[in-house]
Amino acid sequence: METWIQYFEAIQRLEGIIEETEAYVKPLVELDDYFSISNLESIRDRCQSFRSLFRMVVIGKFSSGKSSFINALMGHPSFLPSDLRQSTGVVTRIKYGDSERVLVKFADDSVKSISTKEIAAYVKIPTEYQDLSLYDINDLICSGVKDEEIISLKELWEKSDKKTLLSYLKKYPKSKIVKECLIE
């Protein structure tokens, strides 16, 4: 299988074949005890267990190619944003689902449903803020730390400048900080 999506599509096709076969076997079971659908049920159960079998966690340093790796695995070169610098600033869970949907959870616990084409707009770190320590800054914002205290922590913005940090703090209150993105 080239991608995990093809893997799950193959499982779906197999489940469809089992369902069709059951439609033919059930009348025979009623006529003759020789026929049984227990084998089909066993195969269906295995298909269900295969759906949750594939779990992977991708972790690594900033700009180490995690998003590029996931894009290759998905078979979509631009599924998640990737760049030479840090570009994906959000924990992103990807899960197979029967229908495509993307849920974005914000730091204030609100949730928004978006299309797959909008993913980058929510998980990509804007270029002007790539030199800020956004993981730490976002954690402080979410913990209720006041802007003045965040500004006083120079190590969070020393690679950039104070003006950039002020701009970020103004543009990204708790209600706009994406904590997690779930893609099904």
pLDDT of residue 107: 85
Report the DSSP beta bridge partners of residue 141. Answer: none
**Between residues 159 and 39, the one the model is more confident about:** 159
Structure confidence at residue 96 (pLDDT): 65
Here the tokens at position 97 are 């689902």
Phi, psi of 145 (to 5 degrees): -70, 135
Percent of all residues in the chain with a pLDDT value above 90, rounded to a whole number:
2
Angle, vertex CA 36, rays to CA 32 and CA 42, nearest 5? 170
Cα-Cα-Cα-Cα dihedral sign, residues 139, 142, 146, 151 = positive
**Cα angle: 24, vertex 40, 36; to 5 degrees:** 65
- Comparing 84-88, 91-95, 168-172, 177-181, which segment has the lowest mean pLDDT? 84-88
Statement: residue 104 has pLDDT above 80: yes
Q: Where are the domains of the chain?
A: 4-51, 88-183
Beta strand 102-106 with 111-114: parallel, antiparallel or unpaired? antiparallel
As a whole number of angstroms, the distance between CA 54 and CA 8 comes to 10
Count Cβ atoms within 10 A of the Cβ of residue 152 and give its class: 0-12 exposed, 13-18 middle, 19 or more buried: exposed
State the pLDDT at residue 170.
92
Pairing, β 111-114 against β 91-94: unpaired
Residue 82 has pLDDT above 60, yes or no: yes
The pLDDT value recorded for residue 171 is 92
The reported pLDDT for the residue numbered 1 is 43
Give me the pLDDT at residue 34, please.
61
Distance CA 28, CA 34 (A): 9
pLDDT digits 0-9 by tens, 10-65 = 777 877 887 777 777 777 666 666 656 666 677 767 766 666 656 777 877 777 78
The two tokens of residue 11 are: 């499982």
Residue 78's nearest CA partner among 88, 67, 87 is 67
Burial of 13 per CB tally in 10 Å (0-12, 13-18, 19+): exposed
Rounded average pLDDT over 78-94: 69
